[in-house]
Every structure is written in structure tokens, then in C-alpha cells.
Homo-oligomer: A and B are copies of this chain.
Amino acid sequence: MNKLAVVKIGGNIIEDALALQSFLTDFSQMQGAKILVHGGGKKATAMAKQMDIPVQMVEGRRITDTQNLDIITMLYGGKINKNIVAQLQNLGCNALGLSGADGNAIQAIKRPVKTIDYGFVGDVVGVNADLFQMLLKGEYTPVCCAITHDQKGQLLNTNADTIAATLAQNLSQYFKVSLWYCFEKQGVLENIEDENSLIETINPKKYNKLKKEQVVHSGIIPKIDNCFEALANGVNEVKIGAPKMIAGISQHTTLKLEDE
């Protein structure tokens, strides 16, 4: 079984041109099949402001109305995605940008309205594995933005962490998959203020203990939940850490399912 790396980068890298360039250089040098998934960060909010479009937030979450979906499509699917692809091309990596609509890559449904209507937000329901296999076999590197579609003509704003986890999970039928989450910390920390308090490995038992003791903070819990779900569904390993981990020159947290 061939190896595949699914690497997700967040807003903190996207928003810092030098950090992005450094990351893309490292990414271009990763050997073997790979997929990049990127979020968009705070640029969407800044652009909405510039265009005098109101941004509605409920409980810290953006409500994606039509105008904000347009901004996300322009930024994530257009400016950010195409510039990442062009930079990777310059670095000798044959990148190809995708939204979930392209080639029916990632299918979703509009999030059902319970107490809050999040607007045009998608929950992923499927992946076109044939497309990714064809591209990877052709030595293309898919670069996925955090946009999906409902197969009925509607684009949907979607969580990039979830997209990365779903891709990793789905493609683990065909590849030995490593899922890499790059973010602003060295990994999962015992003390969020102390970069030296890195937890090097987490298994489900340890995770429960950390949660019970409230060592892991609320922001990272959905990320870790996604990781364990991916591991339970066939992903070989998940790594969380600073972007430099992909070059093998920084520590990080490895998540795995272990026999106790």
C-alpha cells in the first residue's frame, strides 16, 4: 500500500506570507503522494468589512449568508487557493486546486437547522475517491479549499479540519494515510502558555484523562475528536504540531489507537 500524507494548514499560516512560503517550500519537498487542505483564516472577515458586508456571528461562529459565501468562494476558492497552487508550481510540485464541487470531489449537505441556522455551511457526506486516486496516480497534488457542494448547485462553507479528516479516512482504503494538522503551537500542550509542555503521544485512554482533568482546552477538543474518528476509520497516524514538523525538524503530538 502506498503512503499518502494529508496535510492541513490553518489561518495563521495563510495570513503570514513568509510563514506560508516557508511551509510551501517544506510541503513541496515531502516525498510521495500528498494532499494539502487549507482554511482561510480571518481574511474573509476583513474583506467583508472592506466591502461593507455585515458578518453575523453566533456563539463565536460565523453565519454564512449568501454574501459571505460569495466572499469565502472568492477568497478560499479563488485568491488563496490559486496563489498556493501557483507557488507550489514554482517549487516543482504539480499542485491542482479543488473545491468540493470540482469533479464532485467532496459532497456535503447544508447543516440542518436546530436552534441556530448557520446558513450555507456544509456537513461532509462523501468523497469522490476515484478523482483523488486518478490525480495522485498522475502525480498531481490536490490542494483543497474548505468549500464543498450539495450536488444540487449550492456551494457550502465547510470546516477545513473536517475536510482533511474525511479525506484521510476515505482514502485510507487505498493508501497508508498520515494526517498532519499544522497549527500555531508545537502540538497539544499540558500548559497552553508553555511550549515545553508538549504531550508527545495521546491514545484514547490518555485523552479521556486529559479531558477529565481539563488539561486540553476547549478549542482543540473538536480537532482531537476528528483525529480519533479518523484513526478509528483506518487512518494510520495523526500528527498535530507546528508547520515545521512536516520537514521533520520540530516535535509534535502523535495520536494513535493503542492496545492497552
Instruction: Write out the residue numbers on chain B whose beta carbons fall within 8 Å of the beta carbon of A99.
Output: 82, 85, 97
A170 at the interface (CB under 8 A from B): no
Q: Are B102 and A96 in contact (CB under 8 A)?
A: yes
Q: Given B74, B103, B134, which contacts A75 in the complex, CB threshold below 8 Å?
A: B74
A95 at the interface (CB under 8 A from B): yes
Q: How many residues from A make CB contacts under 8 Å with B?
A: 41
Q: Are B90 and A153 in contact (CB under 8 A)?
A: yes
Instruction: Beyond A87-B153, A130-B138, A134-B134, list 18 extra A-B contacts (CB 8 Å).
Output: A70-B79, A73-B78, A74-B74, A74-B78, A77-B77, A77-B79, A78-B79, A78-B81, A82-B99, A86-B101, A86-B149, A89-B149, A89-B153, A90-B153, A94-B103, A95-B101, A96-B98, A131-B140
A250 at the interface (CB under 8 A from B): no
Q: Given B77, B87, B95, which contacts A78 in the complex, CB threshold below 8 Å?
A: B77
Chain B residue with the shortest CB-CB distance to A87: B153
Q: Given B52, B89, B95, B147, which contacts A82 in the complex, CB threshold below 8 Å?
A: B147
A251 at the interface (CB under 8 A from B): no
Chain B residue with the shortest CB-CB distance to A138: B134
A98 to B135, CA, bound (A): 14
Chain A positions 78-136 with a Cβ under 8 Å from a chain B Cβ: 78-79, 81-83, 85-87, 89-90, 94-99, 101-104, 130-131, 134
A-B contact pairs, 12 of them (CB 8 A): A50-B51, A70-B79, A73-B78, A74-B78, A82-B101, A85-B102, A89-B153, A90-B153, A95-B102, A97-B101, A131-B138, A131-B140
Q: Given B83, B85, B130, B155, which contacts A83 in the complex, CB threshold below 8 Å?
A: B155
A152 at the interface (CB under 8 A from B): yes
Instruction: Write out the residue numbers on chain B whose beta carbons fall within 8 Å of the beta carbon of A208.
Output: none
A94 to B86, CA, bound (A): 24
Instruction: Write out the residue numbers on chain B whose beta carbons fall within 8 Å of the beta carbon of A70.
Output: 79
Q: Are B104 and A89 in contact (CB under 8 A)?
A: yes
A151 at the interface (CB under 8 A from B): yes
A89 to B134, CA, bound (A): 19
Q: Are B97 and A104 in contact (CB under 8 A)?
A: no
Instruction: Write out the residue numbers on chain B whose beta carbons fall within 8 Å of the beta carbon of A134.
Output: 134, 138
Q: Are B51 and A90 in contact (CB under 8 A)?
A: no
A3 to B74, CA, bound (A): 34
Q: Are B79 and A74 in contact (CB under 8 A)?
A: yes
